[in-house]
C-alpha cells in the first residue's frame, strides 16, 4: 500500500483547493474593501476616501496573494527558504499594506450610525485594549518565533495541511496586530506615544536579529531541513525582516506630529499693558 498526501488527492480530484481557497479569500478581501470605499465616498462626498489608503490596502492584498499562491506556496512546502520567504511576505509586508489602508476607519465611514457606535465600543473594549498593548503585540509577533523554531512545533505544523494554514493565519493576524499597534492610522485604545513605540520596534528588530543569527549558526533550533536551507532561511529573515521593519519605522515616524501638538498647547496669555494715568 502506497501513501499519498491530501494535496495529491486534491490534484487527482481536479480541486486545487490549496490554490482556489486563498485566491478566493484575497479577492473577497480586496473586493469588500473597494465596495466599502465606494460606499464611504457616497455617504461623505466632500471627504471621500483616500486613494492612497486604497492603494496601500490593495498592495497588501497583492503581497498576500503572492505569498499564498504558486510559485511561492509550493516552494514553501518543499524548501525552508521558501517557508521563510512566505513568512516574511505574509507576516510582515502584507500586514503593513493592509493596516495602512485603515480598514477600521473605512468601516466607520461606511456603516450606519448605530453599527458604527457598536464598532467604536468594540475598539474600546477591554479585550482589544489588552491586544492593542505593544508588549502583547510584540510577544504574539516575535515571541512566538522562538516557540516555533526552537521547539518541535515547526516540524509538527509543517506535517499537516490544516496545521500549515493555521500557521499562515497566525503570521498574518499577528503581523497585522503589530503593524496596527505600531503605526496604524486606525483608532486604538490607549496607544502610547511615538517614542515608546519606537523602543518596542527596536526590541522587535533586535529579537529578529538574534533569532536569525542563532538559526544561521544552528544553535538550539529544531528544524528538519538541510543546513543550507536553514541558513538561507535565516538570511531571508535577517535581511527581509530588516527592510520590513525599516518601512514600519518610516510609517511610525510619519504619524509623529510634534509641531501640531505644540500648536494645540495652550499659550500663556499676555497681560494687558497698563495705561498711563492722566494727570
Task: Report the C-alpha gap between 131 and 128 in whole angstroms.
Answer: 5
> In whole angstroms, what separates CA 254 from the centre of its chain?
17
User: With contact defined as beta carbons under 8 Å apart, do 130 and 211 qualify?
Assistant: no
Contact yes or no for 154/77 (Cβ under 8 A): no
Planar angle of CA 195, 196, 201, nearest 5 degrees: 95
Other C-beta atoms closer than 10 Å to the C-beta of 161 total: 15
CB distance 30 to 101 below 8 Å: no
Residue 6 lies in a domain: no
Give me the pLDDT at residue 218, please: 93
Indicate whether this model's pTM tops 0.75.
yes
Model confidence pLDDT, tens digit, residues 209-268: 999 999 999 998 889 999 999 999 999 999 999 999 999 999 999 877 654 444 444 555
Q: Are 94 and 175 in contact (CB under 8 A)?
A: yes
The verdict on residue 37 lying in a domain is yes
Domain membership of residue 43 (yes or no) is yes
Residue range(s) defining the domain that contains residue 123: 17-255
Residue 132's nearest CA partner among 188, 193, 198 is 188
Other Cβ atoms within 10 Å of 21 Cβ, number? 13
CB-based burial of residue 164 (10 Å sphere; 0-12 exposed, 13-18 middle, 19+ buried)? middle
pLDDT above 60: residue 9: no
Is residue 71 reached through a cis peptide bond, with omega within 30 degrees of 0 on the bond before it? yes
Tell me the pLDDT band of 203, cut-offs 50, 70 and 90: very high
Dump pLDDT digits (tens) for 44-90: 888 889 999 999 999 999 999 999 999 999 999 999 999 999 999 99
Q: Do the Cβ atoms of 91 and 172 come closer than 8 Å?
A: yes
Residue 91 lies in a domain: yes
Q: How many domains would you assign to the chain?
A: 1
- Model confidence pLDDT, tens digit, residues 162-185: 888 899 999 999 999 999 999 999
The CA–CA distances, whole Å, from 158 to 11, 88, 92, 163, 246 equal 19, 17, 20, 7, 29
Is 219 within the bounds of a domain?
yes
**Cell digits of residue 251:** 510609517
Residue 205, Cβ neighbours under 10 Å: how many?
A: 18
Cα angle vertex 95, ends 175, 157, to 5°? Answer: 50
Instruction: Give 267's DSSP letter.
Output: P
Query: In this structure, are residues 80 and 231 in contact, taking their beta carbons and an 8 Å threshold?
Result: no
Radius of gyration of the chain (CA): 24
pLDDT over 80 at 96, yes or no: yes
Q: Is residue 4 part of a domain?
A: no
Amino acid at each position: 500500500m502506497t501513501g499519498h498526501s491530501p494535496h495529491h488527492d486534491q490534484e487527482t480530484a481536479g480541486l486545487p483547493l490549496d490554490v482556489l481557497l486563498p485566491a478566493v479569500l484575497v479577492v473577497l478581501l480586496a473586493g469588500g474593501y473597494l465596495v466599502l470605499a465606494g460606499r464611504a465616498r457616497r455617504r461623505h462626498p466632500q471627504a471621500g476616501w483616500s486613494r492612497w489608503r486604497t492603494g496601500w490596502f490593495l498592495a497588501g492584498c497583492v503581497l498576500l496573494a503572492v505569498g499564498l499562491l504558486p510559485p511561492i506556496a509550493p516552494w514553501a512546502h518543499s524548501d525552508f527558504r521558501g517557508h521563510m520567504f512566505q513568512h516574511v511576505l505574509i507576516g510582515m509586508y502584507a500586514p503593513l499594506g493592509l493596516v495602512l489602508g485603515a480598514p477600521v476607519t473605512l468601516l466607520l465611514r461606511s456603516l450606519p450610525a448605530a453599527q458604527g457606535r457598536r464598532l467604536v465600543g468594540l475598539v474600546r473594549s477591554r479585550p482589544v485594549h489588552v491586544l492593542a498593548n505593544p508588549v502583547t503585540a510584540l510577544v504574539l509577533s516575535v515571541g512566538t518565533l522562538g516557540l516555533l523554531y526552537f521547539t518541535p512545533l515547526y516540524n509538527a505544523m509543517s506535517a499537516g495541511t490544516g496545521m500549515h494554514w493555521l500557521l499562515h493565519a497566525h503570521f498574518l493576524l499577528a503581523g497585522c496586530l503589530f503593524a496596527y499597534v505600531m503605526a496604524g492610522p486606525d483608532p486604538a485604545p490607549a496607544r502610547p506615544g511615538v517614542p515608546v513605540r519606537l523602543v518596542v520596534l527596536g526590541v522587535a528588530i533586535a529579537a529578529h536579529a538574534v533569532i536569525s543569527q542563532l538559526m544561521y549558526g544552528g544553535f538550539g533550533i529544531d528544524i528538519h531541513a538541510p543546513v543550507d536551507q536553514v541558513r538561507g532561511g535565516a538570511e531571508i529573515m535577517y535581511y527581509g525582516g530588516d527592510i520590513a521593519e525599516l518601512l514600519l519605522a518610516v510609517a511610525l515616524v510619519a504619524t509623529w506630529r510634534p509641531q501640531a501638538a505644540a500648536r494645540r498647547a495652550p499659550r500663556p496669555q499676555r497681560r494687558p499693558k497698563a495705561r498711563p494715568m492722566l494727570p
